[in-house]
A and B are shown apart, each in its own frame.
Chain A
Amino acid sequence: MAIDAATVRKVAKLARIAEPEARIDPLAQELTGIMAWIEQLAEVDVEGVEPMTSAVSMSAPLRDDVVTEGGDPERVLSNAPRRAGDFFVVPKVVE
């Protein structure tokens, strides 16, 4: 199935990646090519097959609901692009 320019723009928006206008058509072509190759999956009979979500069949392990680590703002903030005291500085969310 062909992926058109409008779909590329929509998907790029969902993925929060600013794609320059000059990349939209080439991306549409590349993604169409990849998806065309993927289409062959339609040939496989998957009637009644359980989807495989994990490589090992195991249930999620549980642990006690206790604090294991914390109280260390310096380590948490040490890679912050911008900080003020013990806080991350981020763009305004509510106008």
Chain B
Amino acid sequence: MSGLTDLTLRQALDALGTRKISSEELTGGYIAAIEAARPLNAFVLETPEKALEMARASDHRRASAEAGPLDGVPLGIKDLFCTEGVQTTAGSRILGTFTPTYESTVTSQLWRDGAVMVGKLNLDEFAMGSSNETSAFGPVVSPWRRQGDDAPLTPGGSSGGSAAAVAAGLCLGATATDTGGSIRQPAAFTGTVGIKPTYGRCSRWGVVAFASSLDQAGPIARTVEDAAILLKSMSGHDPKDSTSLNTEVPDFPAFVGKSVKGLRIGIPKEYRIEGMSPEIDALWEQGIAWLRDAGCEIVEVSLPHTRYALPAYYIVAPAEASSNLARYDGMRYGLRVEGGNLTETYEKSRAAGFGEEVKRRILIGTYVLSAGYYDAYYLRALKVRRRIADDFTAAFGKVDALLTPTAPSAAFALGENAEDPVAMYLNDIFTVTVNLAGLPGMSVPAGLDAQGLPLGLQLIGRPLDEGLLFSLGGAIEKAAGFSSKPARWW
């Protein structure tokens, strides 16, 4: 059946519900698409047999009228989520052949609701990167190319596999995670929708940890409604995560299409950074005009500590990472390289297992936490973090949500920013503030640049106000009428 992989998740659910298609057919279509798309390197592991088994079980549930809200829908899983009996790598060599004996809470909720897993998606090693180039399994290649140019582009990172797979039609949606922008920047680069919910909305249990006070799971999908459907299944209180919020999960899809008339939208003036591409600036103005046309009131707001967010992040995140990644010692699971004694075994295993960017961040984290530097760096960064969060609290006293660009540029070529770590870190300049403050943020595709590459707009909400973001995102999606897909070259 042609066009099977062109359906949105909502359309596929409707077609499955009316028995126009079976999950086995739909899943088979995606398995074929995945096989044909291997040049993208989006998957670390394809699981076609498991997918077909899950699809047949779903068809059986439909036949006995026991279908869940995601029944029969093929999804890709970022390889940071532990999946029982299916190898999980975190994009690193240090996990060796690690095969979890448990399922992450988020993925278990997707399976509870009937979804089908087509495979594990490539990512930056331990989600540390903005271009997918730090993956031990090679970078994901974006399905998008500049017009008249074959140069391979980054799909963004760290959830590059998730974004590329959704954009290329290899799954109906994907799980992703976001510590500094890892859901939103890849979504912007690939013309997909990505939402990082409020910190604590999705359980972190069974998700390989990077920086625990910043990490949040969320979906990448083709439409705002699809993202809302997925987030609803992924969210909810989990006693196994002590920072999981014990609060009701709203019916997110019901917010899509709601009127946004009368909402006050803040435009943070500090996000007009020097050297921002004129195209991004124009897109932002266009977004403002769309929301004004939809009845929103536009208000300029100030977030004065914005410029300190990235440097604060590059203390807080590596500090937490150096502590979290201490567990990879080659003793109980993962790679072990034997040395002459215990310490040497640790040192050799970690040297062989971690890539350069991960080592760099562990060293920075160890340095800023070490005796004599703790107060000057780590404690100061935590205070600056409070300042950044307070800026948002003040802004949300005046407005209901904020509108900004998602990233300072369109997708760049693989290798383009590889030499200078700080230049790479600047990709997250508009997204990282949201993680530091624990707020929900969503990227919505809003247009193409002159070279034919997608650009995204970011919406930022108050804590637990994802519903409003879905309403606003839906309004932007409708006004933008974004329907571009990458021209197939693979």
Contacts and interface: CB of A to CB of B under 8 A. Distances in A.
B90 to A, nearest CB: 14
Contacts of B99: 78-79
Contacts of A61: 239, 242, 246
Interface in B422-437: 422, 435-437
A42 to B, nearest CB: 8
A40 B149 CA distance: 39
Given A15-B366, A18-B350, A46 B380 contact: yes
Contacts of A27: 360, 363
Contacts of A88: 331-332
Contacts of B199: 55-56
Contacts of A12: 363
Nearest to A74: B101
Nearest to B241: A61
Chain B interface secondary structure, helix, strand, loop or mixed? Answer: helix
Say which size band chain A's interface belongs to: 35 or more
Contact of B362 (A17, A58, A78): A17
Say which size band chain B's interface belongs to: 35 or more
A53 B213 contact: yes
A42 B315 CA distance: 13
Contact of A56 (B326, B350, B421, B438): B438
A83 to B, nearest CB: 10
Interface of A: 3, 7-8, 11-12, 14-20, 27, 30-31, 33-35, 37-44, 46, 49-56, 58, 60-61, 63, 75-76, 78-82, 88, 90-93
Interface of B: 96-99, 101-102, 198-200, 213-214, 239, 242-243, 245-246, 305, 307-308, 311-312, 314-315, 322, 326, 329-336, 338-339, 341-348, 350-351, 354, 359-360, 362-364, 366-367, 370, 377, 379-387, 389, 421-422, 435-438, 463
16 contacts: A11-B366, A16-B347, A17-B351, A17-B354, A17-B363, A42-B380, A44-B383, A46-B380, A51-B386, A53-B382, A55-B435, A55-B438, A56-B198, A79-B99, A81-B334, A91-B338
